[in-house]
Structure 1
Amino acid sequence: MKLQFLGATDTVTGSKYLIEHDKARVLVDCGLFQGYKLLRLRNWEAPPVKPSSIDAVILTHAHIDHSGYLPLLARQGFRGKVFCTPATYDLCRILLPDSGHLQEEEAEYANRHKLSKHKEALPLYTREDALRCLKLFHPIPYDKDWQPVPGLHARMTPSGHMAGSSFVRLDDGSRSILFSGDIGRPQDLMLKPPVQMDGADYLVVESTYGDRLHKNSDPLLELGKVINRTAARGGVVVIPAFAVGRAQSLLHCIHLLKAQGVIQDIPVYLNSPMAASAMQVYLKHKSELKLTPAECEAMAHTAHIVQSPEESRLLNARHGPMVIVAASGMATGGRVVHHLKAFAPDKRNTILFAGYQAGGTRGASIAGGAPTVRIFGEDVPIRAEVAMLDDLSAHADAGEIVSWLKGFKAPPRQTFITHGEPAAADAMRQRIERELRWNVHMPFYLETVTLR
């Protein structure tokens, strides 16, 4: 068995791991590279492995950095099956067509404003490409054994990162390998904790927060403070939020804050049709949540859903106090970018980040203290308060990852650290070596290893 790292090395995006077993090829995750332009350009390069030679894809979860390359893979010749959990399939039915639509919008905008260095800007893939690739999906329930290719057994187990997220374990009878995907948090407000795994001969583990610990604070209290001090200024809280997972968590928190009387009953807007659709998926798969049926209903009705682009534009002319939750989570695109352009220059307002900001993204620039950011060809001043709410992160921190690893019945023969910026991945490597004394390796892009 061979393992090749086609992404998520020295970065938190582009997760793709190729397993070669006998003459078969299985790709675990199929994500887009995001962030720095040097990484994003990889999405446009010829794939390092011929897509038609891949027999199956297994997704750990639906986020675009794990699933977003699938429409292009299928357009380039992949005809195998895509395996994932039912909730992941339901979310991909929302995320992938939306991703294609955004690609088309960005290309059209670049052409209209003559921003492309090429004769004509083209989308990486289209909404139609995404819809076609969805025909390849084959949902598999949690904790069921199946064979993606003959002789290779697979099993998906809840990882607690988002609805449908899973650990993926592959076993050929002689050796096994476990892919962590993104590991959730044991005390998440909405999701049940990651299932403790027994381990495997080989492990590929994420390291998004490998160099830090989440603050030991109450996210409800912190969120309430941000909303209250912004409301006291008559300001607007703009929250760039991942449409799947984070947006739902935020609305649950805002409902609790209002119910407890911590914040006043100010208007709350969810400006993301995709987040509204994802809410319905969460309600459909509520067995994966900690919430009661009543809490699920309250979460779904906490915000006014902004439907049309015109309604979205009108929000920019409103005054606070109010809260706007809008995608995307790293402010790389979507409706939140228009809100940032409108509200970031006013010191009464607040930009609140509630998740990881990958290097090279607009969100990372703002969170890092940039005085201006480029939006639609203009340098927009950042005079608004900038706040962070890491405790709502759906990623386990370094301590939580190590605690999960300590539950393994035996050390893996080799542990591979991926899905982290270089500093975070190396910190994770050192901590595992120091505390667990495991054999650890940080793979490089396109590296191939033999699993004996």
Structure 2
Amino acid sequence: MASTQDTLAVGISRPTQRQRTRTGRPAITFLGGAGTVTGSKFLVEACPSGVLVDCGLFQGLAPLRRRNWQTPPLDLDRLDAVVLAHAHLDPCGYLPVLARAGWHGPVYATPGTVRLAAIVLADSAHLLMEEATHANAAGWSKHRPALPFYDERDAAKALRLLRPVDFGVPIELAEGISVEFGRAGHILGSAWAHLWLTGGGISRSLVASGDLGRPVHRVLRPPQPRPDCDALLLESTYGGRDHHDEHATERLAELVCRTIGRGGSVLIPAFAVDRTEVILVELAKLARAGAIPDVPVFVDSPMALASLRVYRQALQEGWPEIRPEFADAVDPFDPGHLAELHSVEESMSVNDPRMPSIIISASGMATGGRVLHHLTHLLPDRRHTILIVGFAAAGTRARQLAAGAREIKIHGRYVPVRADVEVLDAFSAYADASELVAWATAAPTPDATYLVHGEPDGAARLADRRREDHDWCAVLPRDGERVLV
């Protein structure tokens, strides 16, 4: 949110003469996702064309969030297309700003990403507007008035720019730039992008990994192998560590039983797209095996419920990303007493549950959404458990809870943390360090690998691993840096 003056300042700069000048050789400029796990924006140029790979929102620490309001170094008159890796806010959450500034697309993505982006961007705009209204009513924002970063009209404009492209189908984006999508296995529709660049008589190729999924994903097939390329943009979200998969299902069952046994509820802040589905699949398996008590499971997120419908459709129609074992399965997302909460009144009713329950609510990093109201009510009570099941960026409430915070600030007030806080990263949809290395090394060594979409320590550790174990040229690009491909 920002003040009126801040909002009027938001826009896309028209180019200076220096910005208009392009060398003939293909190049990449890192406009986000460098030194941070959010805000992914990679400008790929091949004279005379320019394409943006991802158009993401900065999240987490306040200095990062403020960057959303800065005028980005983008020349809309020379931006020919946008390519999206998947439908989380990091790769697509900035699109409404481009649309508001008058850019008319196109934006290319897989069919699954197009379907889910329509849900994600509409929900994001709704939450931003709702948060601004709440801030003005309660007076907890420093801005007078507090305004949403973008609204539902901006999101609708962005959605009209989306163009679906199937996996494995090469298309020309602009003169000298083509792309083909491969399965990334992170969420439904997620893709890595293989770009061919021709400029100044030079032909080069680039692979942007997007966010890679895990070979052991509960619903989706593993990522397709990386193709040969001259340059690689490799995500590094979990570049510094591996997941602890051992006994993860047993640990989930144990903490549910322990919490329910003392009369408490389990609150799971979960990304609305994919993480909610993964957790439901795991809970359903445990419920069918009699490994957890027979209690209500509430899904409290309009976006999660909308994405769940897309996942169910994908299973029914046999989309190519779905694991084959789900072909003839009964609803794998139903633990037995699944309750979908749609209205605000339904959501508020589970803040003081009459009986123990499991609540799955967005957002996964507890940066906004209905989960904040649940945290406000459940955190002060020692009977309850808060379960963190995915990556949480620095500066987010989920990261603070995972790090052992004894109080967190929600809507301008501090809330004491007395409930148990548990972390189970085995349910993450992100590839860990070993899985990233295995995917990256399955093809010939590129001339250079750029570690992006990761916090500095994790990206640096993955870069060191690439250099020491495989003698790769592994680079941590600086924000705003431009390199030749």
TM above 0.5, yes or no, is yes
Matching residue of 1:141: 166
CA-CA distance at 1:149 after TM superposition: 0.7
Matching residue of 1:310: 345
The yes-or-no answer on 1:110 pairing with 2:139 is no
Q: 1:20-99 alignment to 2 at 5 Å?
A: 20-99=45-124
Match of 1:271 among 275, 297, 300: 300
Q: Residues of 2 paired with 1:226 and 1:341: CA distance?
A: 21
Contact 1:97/1:128 (CA < 8 Å) preserved in 2?
Answer: no
Question: Structure 1's 300 and 22: CA in aligned 2 closer, same or farther, altered over 3 A?
Answer: farther
Contact 2:288/2:335 (CA < 8 Å) preserved in 1?
Answer: no
Q: Residues of 2 paired with 1:295 and 1:360: CA distance?
A: 40
Question: Structure 1's 300 and 279: CA in aligned 2 closer, same or farther, altered over 3 A?
Answer: farther
The yes-or-no answer on 1:381 pairing with 2:416 is yes
Contact 1:234/1:319 (CA < 8 Å) preserved in 2?
Answer: no
CA-CA distance at 1:118 after TM superposition: 2.9
Match of 1:187 among 193, 211, 216: 216
The yes-or-no answer on 1:414 pairing with 2:448 is yes
The yes-or-no answer on 1:358 pairing with 2:382 is no
Contact 1:270/1:324 (CA < 8 Å) preserved in 2?
Answer: yes
CA-CA distance at 1:244 after TM superposition: 0.1
Q: Residues of 1 paired with 2:102 and 2:247: CA distance?
A: 48
Q: Residues of 1 paired with 2:215 and 2:196: CA distance?
A: 27
The yes-or-no answer on 1:444 pairing with 2:469 is no
Amino acid at match of 1:91: L
Cα deviations by residue, 1:11-58 (Å, 9 ceiling, x for unpaired): 110011001111211000000000000000010001211334311000
Matching residue of 2:432: 397
The yes-or-no answer on 1:221 pairing with 2:250 is yes
Question: Structure 1's 101 and 24: CA in aligned 2 closer, same or farther, altered over 3 A?
Answer: same
3-state SS in 2 of match to 1:426:
helix
CA-CA distance at 1:283 after TM superposition: 2.0
Q: Residues of 2 paired with 1:300 and 1:33: CA distance?
A: 34
CA-CA distance at 1:150 after TM superposition: 2.1
Cα deviations by residue, 1:419-452 (Å, 9 ceiling, x for unpaired): 111100100100011111111110011111112x
Q: Percent identity among equivalent residues?
A: 42
Matching residue of 2:457: 423
Q: 1:199-238 alignment to 2 at 5 Å?
A: 199-238=228-267
3-state SS in 2 of match to 1:297:
coil
Give every structure 1 segment of 4 or more consecutive aligned residues whose post-TM-superposition deviation is greater than 6 Å. none
Match of 1:289 among 322, 325, 336: 322
Contact 2:281/2:335 (CA < 8 Å) preserved in 1?
Answer: no
Identify the range of structure 1 (125-134 vs 294-303) with the bigger mean alpha-carbon deviation. 294-303
CA-CA distance at 1:74 after TM superposition: 1.1
CA-CA distance at 1:301 after TM superposition: 6.7
Contact 1:144/1:155 (CA < 8 Å) preserved in 2?
Answer: yes
Q: Residues of 2 paired with 1:151 and 1:376: CA distance?
A: 49
3-state SS in 2 of match to 1:285:
helix
Matching residue of 1:9: 34
Amino acid at match of 1:28: V
Cα deviations by residue, 1:52-86 (Å, 9 ceiling, x for unpaired): 43110000100001100000111112212000000
Q: Residues of 1 paired with 2:154 and 2:330: CA distance?
A: 33
Q: Residues of 2 paired with 1:3 and 1:443: CA distance?
A: 10
Amino acid at match of 2:369: G
Amino acid at match of 2:278: S
CA-CA distance at 1:305 after TM superposition: 0.2
3-state SS in 2 of match to 1:251:
helix
The yes-or-no answer on 1:325 pairing with 2:350 is no
Contact 2:284/2:334 (CA < 8 Å) preserved in 1?
Answer: no
What RMSD in Å do the two structures reach over aligned CA positions? 1.3
Cα deviations by residue, 1:284-327 (Å, 9 ceiling, x for unpaired): 22322225245462315752100100011111121442100000
Amino acid at match of 1:445: D
Contact 1:169/1:179 (CA < 8 Å) preserved in 2?
Answer: yes
The yes-or-no answer on 1:178 pairing with 2:207 is yes
CA-CA distance at 1:106 after TM superposition: 1.5
- TM-score computed with the length of structure 2 as normaliser: 0.91
Match of 1:259 among 267, 270, 288: 288
Contact 2:366/2:397 (CA < 8 Å) preserved in 1?
Answer: yes
Identify the range of structure 1 (191-200 vs 205-214) with the bigger mean alpha-carbon deviation. 191-200
CA-CA distance at 1:183 after TM superposition: 0.7
Q: Which structure 2 residue ranges, 5 or more long, are not aligned?
A: 1-25
Question: Structure 1's 406 and 432: CA in aligned 2 closer, same or farther, altered over 3 A?
Answer: same
Q: Residues of 1 paired with 2:339 and 2:352: CA distance?
A: 17
Q: Residues of 1 paired with 2:77 and 2:298: CA distance?
A: 44
- TM-score computed with the length of structure 1 as normaliser: 0.97
Question: Structure 1's 295 and 352: CA in aligned 2 closer, same or farther, altered over 3 A?
Answer: farther
CA-CA distance at 1:110 after TM superposition: 1.8
Contact 1:159/1:183 (CA < 8 Å) preserved in 2?
Answer: yes
Contact 1:235/1:319 (CA < 8 Å) preserved in 2?
Answer: no
CA-CA distance at 1:103 after TM superposition: 1.1
Q: Which structure 1 residue ranges, 5 or more long, are not aligned?
A: none
Amino acid at match of 2:176: G
CA-CA distance at 1:264 after TM superposition: 1.7
Amino acid at match of 1:143: G
Count of aligned positions: 450
The yes-or-no answer on 1:119 pairing with 2:144 is yes
Matching residue of 2:23: none
Amino acid at match of 1:289: I
CA-CA distance at 1:9 after TM superposition: 1.1
